[in-house]
Amino acid sequence: MEQRTTRPQFVLFGSSMVQHSYYEGWGATLCHLYARKADIVLRGYSAWNSTRALQIVDKILPKNTISMQSQPTLVIVYFGGNDSTRLRQSGKGPHVPLEEYKENMRKIAIHIKSLSENIRILFLSTPPVNEEQIEHNSDEFGQPLRTNEACRIYSEACLEMCREENIKAIDMWSLIQTRDDWKDVCFIDGVHLSIEGSKMVSDEILKVLKEAEWQPSLYWRKMPVEFGEDSPYDPVLPDGVTTINVSNIPFPLHVEWDKADVSNE
């Protein structure tokens, strides 16, 4: 019996920045570019923090699979924005103390590493927020629940953990603020990314995947296309004879899908 084809699997694991990433976002861009190259699996949980994520990571990414080959090829992880919110007097809410957050993220990373020696990992650190744009951003004492300074501190903790564990990471806090007008264009509501903000994220993810010394490469331009062979059923050019293989041509043609795109070099 002919075996079915299998594609590499990329898992996006995180809170609302992951769950909502298909809403004109960076997750949708990855899904589009890898449509015939990898299966993008969305595992986003709005409002979650790293503590809750750690409690279920072995259910999202279990060790007891049929074989190591069924494990994901790449896992992209994001938690931190909710962890960095102010601690409520009641103790309820998503806040996680800084050192606990860092160790949660380390344990998540160690679990993912344990799944397979071939698994690739990319962490996204906490992005900035536009405090002025966030509605209802204060606790019962009038103190801000989310601040850009807290996001910076948690971003640095995530990046420090990644350096210690030799894991690739994107400094989201710095990345978004490279635009002078980031407060005006990068958010929908001061927290969640707009189309412009998401484009910066997808560009940076693709840049990391292109530059990573991983074999085989996980950059979309360098990965094989499923059923990409020439066929007599391919579209025919106006000469009525010449066929064109469109299996590896991104749609639409006029869009610059990522800054690392080799076709633009």
- Residues involved in catalysis: 15, 189, 192
Please name which of 152, 192, 143, 194 lies closest in space to residue 172, comparing C-alpha atoms.
152
Of 108, 5, 112, which is closest to residue 48 (Cα–Cα)? 108
Residue 20 corresponds to which amino acid?
Answer: H
User: Where are the strands (E) in 15-89, listed by range?
Assistant: 39-44, 74-78
Task: Say if residues 28 and 200 touch (Cβ distance below 8 Å).
Answer: no
Please give the Cα distance from 125 to 167 (Å, whole number): 12
Name the residue among 124, 116, 49 with its Cα closest to residue 88.
Answer: 49
Sign of torsion over alpha carbons 124, 125, 131, 132: negative
Beta strands in the chain (DSSP E): 9-14, 39-44, 74-78, 120-124, 168-170
Phi and psi torsions of 63, nearest 5°:
-80, -35
Q: What is the DSSP string of 156-167?
A: HHHHHHHHHTT-
Whether 112 and 61 have beta carbons less than 8 Å apart is answered as yes
